[in-house]
Chain A
């Protein structure tokens, strides 16, 4: 079993839709959770960062972490064509080795 599982999609939605992206994980030591957005042939861009369980909101983006279920989500409200990209979840267990473990990424297309 991979440490981080993420449905690769592809996911296609109309403009204005609410998008839900999810990851599950098996390593209970993970404490830090991140979402990155990656446009084609570019480096990942940090979108959201949360520590432990709970919700965090930033504009149209909301990140949720449920450590009891080992499940994290990213919601995008009022999705725009410019949101079309691959979304990667990433996790870190803390300690002195700041190594991110990534999911495979979900390819999202928002159609005008």
Chain B
């Protein structure tokens, strides 16, 4: 069984730029959630995708957007990057109606 994978591992961007992060869900999982984890904090829920539709969103502005593809992989896009967007971005997959979520290794984004 293949686990959750994310790419890239690390990324450095400049304030104002745009970034796309990618996630492949675990085999058999059809739901993908994205979380932002700032240094020394717990992960914060950004949004979740199921059947290629957004299925809930946390307290993040519209410049955070996402996509889910028919193979259940997903992208997180962030426009107009701000310094505070520097964080570890985590993708988690699960089966719909299952509360256990399985996380990938994360993408560490640094905004300078």
Contacts and interface: CB of A to CB of B under 8 A. Distances in A.
Contact of A104 (B42, B92, B94, B106): B42
Given A99-B56, A102-B42, A102-B43, A42 B106 contact: yes
A46 B92 CA distance: 11
Given A42-B105, A43-B104, A99 B45 contact: yes
A49 B99 contact: yes
Interface stretch (A13-21, A67-75, A90-98): A90-98
Nearest to A42: B105
Nearest to A93: B99
Nearest to B90: A43
A45 B55 CA distance: 23
A56 B6 CA distance: 31
Interface residues of A, number: 28
Q: Which residue among B40, B90, B92, B99 has the maximum number of chain A CB atoms within 10 Å of its CB? A: B99
Given A32-B99, A49-B100, A92-B99, A100 B45 contact: yes
B90 A6 contact: no
A45 B41 contact: no
Given A43-B90, A44-B90, A46-B100, A99 B58 contact: yes
B48 interface: yes
Contacts of A6: 42
Shortest Cβ-Cβ A-B pairs, 7 listed = A102-B42, A97-B56, A43-B103, A32-B99, A99-B45, A43-B105, A44-B103
22 contacts: A36-B103, A41-B88, A41-B108, A43-B4, A43-B6, A43-B106, A44-B43, A44-B90, A45-B103, A49-B99, A92-B99, A94-B99, A96-B55, A98-B48, A98-B99, A98-B101, A99-B33, A99-B45, A99-B48, A100-B45, A100-B101, A104-B40
